[in-house]
Structure 1
Amino acid sequence: MFTTGSKLFIGATTLAVVGALIFGITQSDSKLGTIGLVSAAIALVFLMGINFWVRDSNVSPTDTAALTTAPASHEAPPRSMWPMVAALGVALIPVGLVVGRAITWMAVIVILVATVEWMVQSWSERASADSAYNASIRKRIMHPLELPVLGALGLGLIIFSFSRIMLRLPAAAGAIAFGAVASIVLLFGSLLAAKRTVGRSVVGTLCTIGAVGIIGFGVTSAIAGGREIVKHEIPSFAEGTCGTEHGEADHNASRAIALKSNLAATIVLQNGTLHADVIGVIGAKTTITLGRSTNSYIRFVNLDDDKHRLVADLGVDEVNINGTATKVPQQSCTQAVGKDGAQFLVLRPTRPSFSSTTPFTLSVPGVDSTITIEVP
Structure 2
Amino acid sequence: MHLDLRGRLRRLAFMAPSIVQCAVASALAWTVAKDVFGHARPFFAPIAVVVCIGVAVGQRLRRLVELVAGVSLGVGVGDLLIARIGSGSWQIALVVALAMGTAVFLDSGTLIVLQAGSSAVLVATLLPPSGTGGLDRMIDALIGGVLGIAAMALLPASPAAIVHRHAAAVLETLAAALGGAAEAVEKGDPEPAMAALRRARDAQSTMDAFGEALETGKEITTVSPLRRRRRQRFLRYETALTPLDHALRNIRVLCRRAVVAMQQQEVPPSRLPRALRDLAAAALLFRDELAAGRRPDGTAAAVLRAAALLAEAPAGRSGLSTDAVIAQVRSIVVDLLEATGADGETAAAALPPPAGPPSGRPPGPPIGGTDGGAGGGAAG
Q: Shared fold (TM-score greater than 0.5)?
A: no
Q: Give the TM-score category using the shorter length.
A: under 0.3
Which of 1 and 2 has higher RCO (CA within 8 Å, sep 6+)?
Answer: 2
TM-score between the two structures when normalised by the length of structure 2: 0.24
Higher helix proportion (structure 1 or 2): 2
Say which one has the larger Rg: 1
